[in-house]
Structure 1
Amino acid sequence: MSAQEISPKAAAEALEKGEAILIDVREPAEFAAERIHGALLHPLSTFDPKALPIDATRDVILHCGSAKRSGDALARCAQAGVPITKHMASGIMGWKSAGLPTVAVDPATGRLVDPQKG
């Protein structure tokens, strides 16, 4: 199994089509402040590759803030023999740079800002 870095746009397309599960390996406070809609949290600090949802019909794509921690998580998956080989290039920073939406907390009001819910 060789690791594959995929673009944020390719990850977004796979999510939209129901072909992928997105796993965020950032820490809970980062996830709470801003996340990609539909991503599941599995922080690197407590990361257990065997606890990840494996679905034969969908790819599991790991992501973090910039792709460093998701690369580390991929290495842990390989060491554990877990068949996850994809992570998102540039992480959530790349996602936002590509103009893709995130769910965030407005620091001025504490309200959740989710462009998918209008």
Structure 2
Amino acid sequence: MTTPSKLRDLDPATVHDDLRAGRILLVDVREPQEFAVERIHGAMLFPLSTFDPAMLPQDPGKPIVFQCGSGKRSAMAAAKCREAGIAVNAHLAGGMMAWKAAGMPYVSLDSATGQVVDRR
């Protein structure tokens, strides 16, 4: 399999539109406790601490886009894929910080009540 060499930085609007249309698989590489506190609707959890590129779902019709808190760990996950010969080269530039700054919807945990809140 040919692996791309350059990481593609995707903006929140592009990721949102592609995720909503079912054109991508969004993979969150943060840790489970971070994912529980806040997450993007439709993202799958594959923590970087136990990340194995060979275990990623394979769907030629839906390219994988990585996501984390700031963009650093998602870039690391893409690098691990390149090293393993897996063709994944896109991530949400700026991660959750950029996503929230752009006003995109997400799910979070209200620390005062423990309730899950849909943030739109």
Please state which band the TM-score falls in when normalised by the shorter chain. Answer: over 0.9
Identity over the aligned pairs, expressed in percent?
A: 48
Deviations 1:59-92 (A, max 9, x none): 2100100000000100000000111111110001
1:29 and 2:13 correspond: no
Alignment of 1:98-113 (within 5 A): 98-113=102-117
Q: Which consecutive residues of structure 2, in runs of 5 or more, have no partner in the other structure?
A: none
RMSD of aligned residue pairs (Cα, Å): 1.0
Relative to the length of structure 2, the TM-score reads: 0.93
Secondary structure of the structure 2 residue equivalent to 1:104: strand
Q: How many angstroms apart in 2 are the aligned matches of 1:14 and 1:57?
A: 12
Q: Is the 8 A contact 2:108 2:119 kept in 1?
A: no
Instruction: Give the aligned partner of residue 58 of structure 1.
Output: 62
Alignment of 1:1-118 (within 5 A): 1=4, 2-115=6-119
**Letter paired with 1:70:** S
Moved over 3 A (4+): none
Q: Which consecutive residues of structure 1, in runs of 5 or more, have no partner in the other structure?
A: none
Relative to the length of structure 1, the TM-score reads: 0.95
Secondary structure of the structure 1 residue equivalent to 2:33: helix
Matched positions, count: 116
